[in-house]
Amino acid sequence: MNQLIWIADGVALAIHHRQIAEHGGLEGIRDEGLLESALSRPQNLLAYSESHPDMASLAAAYAYPGNSKKC
């Protein structure tokens, strides 16, 4: 696996804001703790998972309103 790049919450919020401006959707986050948790989850899975997680597992956490809905 290539080296992963972890992003800070401010970067995630800026990306979200830009996506909302471009494509529409709900502003803001459900909870700041959820955002921190969502950004920490992949690092914890890599560090503590008994099996090697795939990218879908690493990305499966939501902090933004409406993002948990399946398209």
Residue from 64, 68, 71 nearest 14 by CA: 64
Domain ranges of the chain: 30-71
pLDDT tens, residue by residue, 4-60: 889 999 999 999 999 999 999 988 888 888 889 888 988 888 888 887 777 777 666
- Which has more pLDDT, 2 or 23? 23
Using H for helix, E for strand and C for coil, what is the string for 14-64?
HHHHHHHHHHCCCCCCCCHHHHHHHHHHHHHHHHHCCCCCCHHHHHCCCCC
pLDDT tens, residue by residue, 53-67: 777 776 666 666 665
pTM of the model: 0.65
User: Which residue's structure tokens are 């909870």?
Assistant: 31
Q: What is the pLDDT, as a whole number, of residue 70?
A: 47
- Taking phi over 0 as left and psi of -120 to 50 as alpha, with beta for the rest, 25 belongs to left
